[in-house]
Amino acid sequence: MNEPNTAQKTEEKAPTPEEIRENLLNSLKQQQEEIRKRRKEAQEAMGEGKGVLKLETPIKSGDQEITELAYDFNGITGLEYTEAMDTDAGASQIYRITYRQALALFAKAASKQAERLDMKDIVSRIGATDAVEAVQLATLFFTAATRAGQLRISKK
């Protein structure tokens, strides 16, 4: 059998330093664009007070695994808000939402969007990393809502 001549084989040439730099810059630009997109989505969700939390650790409900929780903070009534705030009897600061209160607020907002879960199910079954995100969402939303509410209060 005839072996092909090694000179005829096409060899891949190594990228030049300029090509490497160009590839890295393009990769960084793509990563930055993805971050901007996620940040914009998060800001829109926070502004609306609703969105979807994709769970890192699914929640079991009967024979079903729930992998995401829709939430709508604007759907919470005043009574539901105060009940969620009352879940932390040890809360001593009136100007700061505790983690327990924030988790209860998120769970209440999510339970109103879920068919098979109530507030207690979510609070007791949500995984730790998902709870951290839920607490952040609720804390940011209600802190911003408090500031916006202060602007609507008449000083007359």
Query: Does 131 share its domain with 94?
Result: yes
Mapped to the 3 state alphabet, what secondary structure does 56-87 carry?
EEEEEECCEEEEEEEEEHHHCCHHHHHHHHCC
For residue 7, tell me if it sits in a domain: no
Same domain, 55 and 43: no
Percentage of the chain lying above the pLDDT 70 cut: 81
Q: Quick one: 122 and 63 in the same domain?
A: yes
Question: Are 108 and 94 in the same domain?
Answer: yes
124 contacts 100 by C-beta, under 8 angstroms: no
The SS3 of residue 52 is strand
Residues 6+ apart with CB under 8 A from 7: none
71 and 81 within one domain? yes
Tokens of 87: 């879940």
Size of the chain, expressed as the number of residues it contains: 156
Domain match, 19 and 75 both? no
What's the CA gap between 76 and 71, in Å, rounded? 10
**pTM greater than 0.75:** no
| Alpha-carbon gap, residue 116 to 108, rounded angstroms | 13
Please indicate whether residue 145 or residue 56 has the higher confidence score (pLDDT): 56
| Domain membership flag for residue 20 | yes
Shared domain for 61 and 80, answered yes or no, is yes
Same domain, 95 and 142: yes
Please report, in angstroms and rounded to a whole number, the separation of the first and last CA atoms in the chain: 100
pLDDT at residue number 91:
83
Instruction: Look up the domain containing 25 and give its range.
Output: 15-48
Q: Are residues 77 and 143 part of one domain?
A: yes
What pLDDT, in 10s, does the model give residues 45-102?
Answer: 556 788 899 999 999 888 889 999 999 999 999 999 999 999 888 887 777 889 999 9
Whether 150 has a pLDDT exceeding 70, the answer reads no
Q: How many domains does the chain have?
A: 2
C-alpha to C-alpha distances, 142 to 8, 134, 149, nearest whole angstrom: 69, 12, 10
Write out the two tokens for 137.
């969402």
